Every structure is written in structure tokens, then in C-alpha cells.
Amino acid sequence: MFEATTILAFRGKDKAIIGGDGQVTFGNTILKGNATKIRKLHNGKVLAGFAGSTADAFNLFDMFEGILEQRKGDLLKAAIDFSKEWRKDKYLRRLEAMMIVLNTKHIFILSGTGDVVEPEDKCIAAIGSGGNFAISAARALKKHSNLDEESIVKESLKIAGELCIYTNTNINIYTLEEKDETK
């Protein structure tokens, strides 16, 4: 995991939610506390989040969105093609970066080593330095609370922000509902 951020994604029954903290660090210095590290792609039909350097994020988001457009929004095919391209590129594959992409049907973690990982539960994924804190909190809240999916993401990211020094509690969240994907 990276000393970078925390991104948490949750795929519910008819919803997809992604959230990320706003902290940008350089070494042990906080440069900014209100960055947005998540995006809506493909006309708002796919959600994506990034852990790694900011400059790399822009390149990788643009590259993924281009492949997603070529694949006419097919997230599975786009994720596989993107990972192949990311892995083949001599510069990009050395990036210490990861992405989460999801819609209401799929959720994947992508890396420059060619990984396309669908979580075992097909429901919750996290990346970044606070990822393990966030995913642990999300699993516990899912099992032991009556919170809705968006609240689980928000509360889990708050917990990660209280524990991880590279994560803050300035949280951005995007939600995608199944009806949004059919527009």
C-alpha cells in the first residue's frame, strides 16, 4: 500500500459508491487537504478512484476513460485492456499507483503490475495507505449496523482518517444508481 491516500468503494444491491479523503502529502508534509481523488467516467456510468501521485492519476484516469469509451462502457473488458496497456508501458508500469473502478455490476482493483482483482465478496474494495483501516471498518459496519451503503463508506473513511497519518477526514463521495447506468 502507498503512503498516499484512502479510497473505498462499495457495490450495493442497486448502487455503487466510491469515496476518498482529500489529503495530499509529500513525504511527511501535508501539501493540501481538499483534493478530489475520485471521478465519474463514461458519462457518469462508472466510478473510479486513485491512490498514488497526482500527476500519474490524471494520466491513468484519461487512459482508462479512453479504453472505456473504446469498449462502449463494458467495465470488465475495459479493466482487462487497461491493465494490459498499463503493464506494457515501460514508464507507467513503474508507477506506484492503484485504481478502483466500479459500476453497479462490477468492482475491480487495478495496478501497474497487471492486476485486475475483483474482491471475493464482489462488494467492498479499498486502496491506499488507509485502505486496510477503511475496509475493516466497512466490513464491520456492513455486518453489524443498519447503515446504508453511502453512510458505510463515509463512516469507514472517517475511521481511516483518524488512524492513518496520510489520510484525513475531508471526504468526497460519488454515488451511482442502477438507473443512472441505463440513461
Enumerate the active-site residues.
5
For 115, the grid coordinates are: 492486476
Please state whether beta strands 15-21 and 171-177 pair in parallel, antiparallel, or not at all (unpaired): antiparallel
Instruction: Give, in order, the Cα–Cα distances in Å from 76 to each of 83, 113, 116, 143.
Output: 11, 17, 9, 28
For 26, the grid coordinates are: 509529500
Secondary structure letter of residue 14 according to DSSP: S
Residues in a beta bridge with 36: none
**Contacts of range 80-87, beta carbons closer than 8 Å, 24 or more positions apart:** 80/116, 82/110, 83/110, 83/111, 83/114, 83/115, 83/116, 84/114, 86/60, 86/110, 86/111, 86/112, 86/114, 87/112, 87/113, 87/114
Half-sphere exposure of 127 (CA within 13 A, CB side): 25
Phi, psi of 165 (to 5 degrees): -70, -15
